[in-house]
Structure 1
Amino acid sequence: MIAELLPDGVASAWRRDDAEPVTLFPEEAAAVARAVVGRQREFATVRLCARLALRHLGLPETPLAPGARGEPRWPQGVAGSMTHCAGYRAAALARSADVLSIGIDAEPAAALPEGVLEGVSLPGERRHLDALTARTPGVPWDRLLFSAKESVFKTWYPLTRRELAFEEASIDFEPDAREHSGTFTAGLLVPGPVTGDTRRDHFTGRWLVREGLVLTAIVLPR
């Protein structure tokens, strides 16, 4: 499903469970050696997805150990993103000659726990979600907002190596004519990353709600 949100030139792969056996590289195995079995399995499956995407790009498999923030350390010349939640694991990759950064996120299509929305949103965003809920009540808009902000962070972090708080980006959703899908714009409320001679003050992405999942994706072209 994640491929529907990605442009040509971005390779992706996804799995709904951890049924396939995966042999990790030693660096990868060491990163989750003390984790519970469930975490080890999802870690392995999402790296399987990344290896399949690397293969689609014509690139060799390589260890994808996590960095200091938990982010995957991609091989030189590759931009990418991973995500995993209950019932879904995915990776999206592109050559960095074409794409500066990618952020993808998957979440269960259910409302956020009580009190979480207030901690991850701005007052204007909550008014925006109220209006969207009145128009399209079948979409878990609060969870979609959370997912979009996760995709924003995953796009932002490789370019800046700095944290980005939830209140430092404002999301605006635009539904498509097709049910339960659309686009979104994330306006950065702090100085955006500078790439070349251009400051990136906003990111644009796509979203989809289907089969019990919320999916969001941002691809920042070079």
Structure 2
Amino acid sequence: MVVGGFGLCGVPHALITAVEELGIDELEVYSNNCGVDDYGLGILLSARRIRRVTASYVGENKEFARQYLAGELEVELTPQGTLAERMRAGGVGIPAFYTPAGVGTPVADGGMPWRYAPDGTPAILSPAKETREFGGRRYVLEEAISADVALVRADIGDTEGNLVFDQSALNFNPLAAMSGRLTIAEVGTLVEPGRIDPASVHLPGIFVDRIVQTGAQEGRIEKRTTRTTETTERTAP
């Protein structure tokens, strides 16, 4: 299952909650990150519904880090741009591609712990990947992502599946939608065909199979940082 969103922005929270309520488990998830402990994919993690995650970073999800380090979860960390391109490639029918990202590191050479044993030793290590030289530079071969189901969140959609994303929620959502064999989109506002200016469509309906209107989404902040400001009193001369 491939899931759109970045941090807590553009996360299809309603669809993720529906998956949790259905009791589906043993999920293999592709997403930029895994939400936080009580929101987004963090809900499925806490319910022990996810078997394997391919993501760019652990983020602010403490349960994600705990399960990974305890040997309860298999995790493949991949460069963020590579993950995005793997999704796009899966959507346009490209089986694999070469990229310079990760060459000369464990990403290409192998040896990254995908799963730990309960005693903290690596149980499954990433394999070495094919590399090749083009124009005097080394590149690593990365395979496309093509998932059974994709879940995405859009601001506006029409009944034909054409989607408009809200500003930075554009992030991974279109790429995730492209890489799913069955793509389900939750939208804040659902309109009739023709109500969306064709030039404003971010993702055409050809990539969307199901659409659900969920209304406005609660805004969440992944990590809030504040500081106390000092005020200086000014006196008249």
Q: TM-score range by the shorter chain?
A: under 0.3
- Structure with higher Rg: it is 2
**TM-score, length-scaled by structure 2:** 0.25
